[in-house]
Amino acid sequence: MTNRTIPMASTVVDSILFRDAFGTKEMRALFSDYELVQRYIDVEVALAKAEARVGVIPAEAAEVIAREASIERIDFDHMREETDIVGYPILPLVHQLVDMCGEAGRYVHWGATTQDIMDTAVSLQVRDALDLIDGDIRELRGILVDLAKKHRDTPMAGRTHLQQALPVTFGYKVAIWLAMFDRHQERLSQLRPRVAVVEFAGAAGTLASLGDKGFEVQKALAEELKLGVPATTWHVARDGLAETVNLLALVTGSLGKIALDIMIMASTEFAEVYEPFVKGRGASSTMPQKRNPISSELMLAAAKAVRQQAGLMVDAMIQDFERATGPWQAEWIAIPESFILSAGALHQAKFALGGLIVDTGRMKHNLGISKGLIVAEAVMMGMAPFTGRQQAHDIVYDACRTVNENGGTLAEALAALPAVTEHFDRAAIDLMTDPANYLGLAPRMVDRAVELSSDI
């Protein structure tokens, strides 16, 4: 028997096996118990300083609280045991802070209620977590810009309803992905001032325990913590946090869309793109030839999980009267998991897209498998000025049926029709039926998307 530590985590976000697949070290640390309690202490210290600034408690007491209140002196086992009894961690924390601060301890948590401290601590966590997400999105957008520019003119089959529709370029596809994340970056910046706000309002949210000093303390506390001041108490107004997790659901939803595209395009029959090669990654235990799109699979799983947490946050908005009887606790589940899963999905996206292998030859091959039928619309529109649109449609329709029933190419079928050859020679027919000549404004749309992205 050895003294090895036995892994005991029971969720993927903390699992020794899966935590780096579904999250990142930085985001896990931010939502760890240690950092959460540190933020509780930060809020209690900031509150003492704020109240001293406006004359609510003695300045000397605030100095002692700031000096003595230390997470290094917290007995976490005792705090856990007491939290199990109380139901919330703040009273157990306050008991220990009071003991640490001696005579000044009487002024710890002055005029505050448990939810004030917990909500403000979460605001600090969310503010810092949004900074991490913001940085990841910015990095991902840079990767997408480079990929879109590189493949601006790379023709491939555009697909609707999983059928080949019209030619596009791979850069055009990437530009659509880029524009989604440009919008997410804007949404994030617009969200931050709505959610990075202090909560300090007292037992029923009226600041009654501080008399006419309540607003002054609230403002001073916000300044100490570099948070905004809300218009009203938000003990039971949870739209800001619900919006935050729903934004994460949008971000991971977009990642899930990209992941689905990559997974289908990486399938053997498509073989158009592949995730970066790392020896052993995506290997099968029974099929040596397999190269599974692991990062995309993880992105898709995260999208599904965060979407569920977004629904939980909306459900948690329905709270009774001035202090809720349960929905608040649901946030303790949803917020950390959503941020960790989102960070993990963004990490996987940066890896997959940053080293994406694009087989342009295979894209060209797949574009040709319809034998020209993919540009039937182009031929119809090319003939319409000479025959009228409806007659052009009927002519091309007949040519497409010939290809489907007898083989050959659309160009060959058209060249056999007098209604076509009286207006077009074979060279003109070949030009009309070349998919690379019917890309529409796809390349220019890439240019526009890249240009607009640079302004964000």
Catalytic residues: 161, 284
> Which amino acid belongs to residue 204?
A
Only one residue has tokens 């459900």, namely 315
What is the DSSP code string of 426-456? HHHHHHHT-GGG--TTHHHHHHHHHHHHTT-
Only one residue has tokens 């300045």, namely 59
Cα separation, 398 vs 45, in Å, equals 80
> Which amino acid belongs to residue 297?
E
Cα separation, 390 vs 271, in Å, equals 37
What is the DSSP code string of 188-252? HHHHHHHHSB-----TTSS-GGGGGGHHHHHHHHHHHHT-B--SS--SS--HHHHHHHHHHHHHH
Task: Pick left, alpha or beta for residue 407 (phi over 0 → left; psi -120 to 50 → alpha; otherwise beta).
Answer: left
CA atoms within a 13 Å half-sphere pointing along the CA-CB vector of 404: 9
Cα separation, 75 vs 350, in Å, equals 40
CA distances from 197 to 61, 137, 160, 273, 306 (A): 26, 23, 44, 44, 23
Residues in Cβ contact with 339 at an 8 Å cutoff, skipping those fewer than 6 apart: 27, 30, 31, 126, 129, 133, 248
CA atoms within a 13 Å half-sphere pointing along the CA-CB vector of 327: 21
> Which amino acid belongs to residue 338?
S
